[in-house]
């Protein structure tokens, strides 16, 4: 794929970062992130459903395909969702012109997310931006929606630098008795914290600084990726890593990763040399013996007795993320 080259190297405070939520699920995630606030990024909600879009908070809203569906959604039809995105292609070209980093978050299985997201991802990559895609799969009992979702995953993976897949089935394992709206709220919270963590790692000033080109180096070498985010008491640094690895919605199997970016945040009293060494060492001990690792650290006195870790780990071999029964279904769909 031919991409435009950047004319100049930008400072971290001069980056153009966009968080794009596509469809109903994506809009919900962007709404939560907009209410949380994220330093250095612009939030954008994209939908074919005018009513749903109006009720969400975002820095910018894009209603696509209104000439095709009168703003009434894609009706679960990915083909219509893609047509709506195609009708707005010029707008996306303009939006992503000069973009450095684009997060695309969407719920797959429906019409808008499944149909529009691959094209929007393609346009963002074509602009020269790094694209991190965060997608959510419907419950396995949803039949055809689940099959359509896997089809959407494969299409998005063709263009995104890395794709993080979250599965609604995890809600059944983690909190089966929780009200459904609260369960989906948990998933939105995971997505929001991931985006916020990565964005503020490269946009906020740090004691040991990490810049956008560090992130590009880690994510630009191919292979599959995973992310860890978690925090713990400063007196138990090993718990910081355990909490990050214990997130039930993220794949924490990063053994053999060939590249890593690890960032720690804590107050000056909690983030000692020894604790930094131990936390980073706990992660890197599981990586490839020749792994390239970039470490950053920021002093934030709001953390007091806590240390927070955010790690991007890449260069993993392709994983069997689909259950065997679904692998056969996916092959048949394609």
Q: How far apart are CA 282 and CA 105, in angstroms?
A: 30
Can you give the residue range of the structural domain that contains 159?
14-201
Q: Is residue 35 part of a domain?
A: yes
Q: Is residue 6 part of a domain?
A: no
User: What pTM was computed for the model?
Assistant: 0.85
- Residue 4 falls inside a structural domain: no
Is 328 part of a structural domain of the chain? no
pLDDT in tens, 196-209: 888 988 888 888 88
Torsion-angle region of 225 (φ positive above 0: left; ψ -120 to 50: alpha; else: beta): beta
Q: What is the pLDDT of residue 319?
A: 56
| CB atoms near residue 63 (< 10 Å) | 17
Nearest partner of 261 among 223, 231, 291, judged by Cα = 291
Question: For residue range 269-307, what is the model confidence (pLDDT) as tens digits?
Answer: 888 999 999 999 999 999 999 999 999 999 988 888 899
Average pLDDT of the chain is 88
3-class DSSP assignment, residue 43: strand
* Least confident range of 85-89, 221-225, 309-313: 221-225
Identify whether residues 164 and 251 lie together within a single domain: no
Same domain assignment for residues 159 and 251: no
Together in a domain, 188 and 79:
yes
Q: pLDDT value at position 2? A: 44
φ/ψ region of 81 (left if φ > 0, alpha if ψ in -120 to 50, else beta) reads alpha
CB 91 within 8 A of CB 62: yes
Structure tokens at 273: 């040399």
Predicted pLDDT of residue 330: 47
User: What is the tens place of the pLDDT at every residue in 60-111?
Assistant: 999 999 999 999 999 999 999 999 999 999 999 999 999 999 999 999 999 9
DSSP string, 226-246: EEEEEEEETT-HHHHHHHHHT
Q: What does the pLDDT read at residue 183? A: 87
Q: Stretch 173-177: mean pLDDT, rounded?
A: 86
Residue 232 belongs to some domain of the structure: yes
């Amino acid at each position: 794929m031919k991409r435009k080259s950047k004319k100049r190297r930008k400072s971290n405070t001069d980056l153009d970062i966009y968080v794009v939520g596509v469809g109903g699920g994506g809009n919900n995630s962007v709404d939560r992130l907009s209410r949380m606030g994220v330093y250095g990024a612009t939030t954008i909600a994209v939908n074919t459903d005018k009513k749903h879009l109006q009720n969400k908070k975002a820095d910018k809203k894009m209603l696509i395909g209104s000439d095709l569906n009168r703003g009434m959604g894609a009706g679960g039809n990915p083909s219509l969702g893609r047509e709506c995105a195609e009708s707005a292609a010029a707008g996306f070209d303009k939006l992503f012109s000069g973009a450095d980093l684009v997060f695309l978050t969407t719920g797959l299985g429906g019409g808008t997310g499944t149909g529009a997201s691959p094209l929007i991802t393609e346009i963002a990559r074509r602009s020269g931006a790094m694209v991190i895609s965060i997608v959510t799969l419907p419950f396995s009992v949803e039949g055809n929606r689940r099959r359509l979702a896997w089809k959407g995953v494969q299409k998005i993976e063709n263009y995104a630098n890395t794709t993080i897949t979250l599965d609604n089935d995890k809600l059944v394992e983690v909190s089966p008795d929780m009200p459904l709206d609260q369960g989906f709220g948990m998933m939105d919270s995971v997505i929001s914290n991931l985006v916020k963590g990565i964005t503020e790692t490269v946009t906020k000033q740090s004691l040991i600084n990490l810049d956008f080109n560090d992130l590009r180096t880690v994510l630009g070498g191919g292979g599959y990726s995973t992310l860890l985010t978690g925090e713990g008491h400063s007196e138990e640094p090993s718990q910081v890593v355990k909490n990050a690895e214990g997130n039930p919605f993220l794949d924490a199997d990063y053994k053999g990763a060939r590249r890593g970016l690890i960032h720690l945040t804590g107050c000056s009293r909690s983030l000692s040399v020894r604790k930094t060494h131990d936390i980073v060492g706990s992660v890197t001990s599981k990586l490839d013996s020749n792994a390239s690792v970039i470490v950053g650290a920021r002093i934030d006195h709001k953390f007091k007795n806590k240390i927070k870790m955010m790690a991007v780990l890449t260069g993993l071999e392709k994983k069997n993320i689909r259950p065997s029964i679904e692998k056969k279904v996916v092959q048949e769909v394609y």
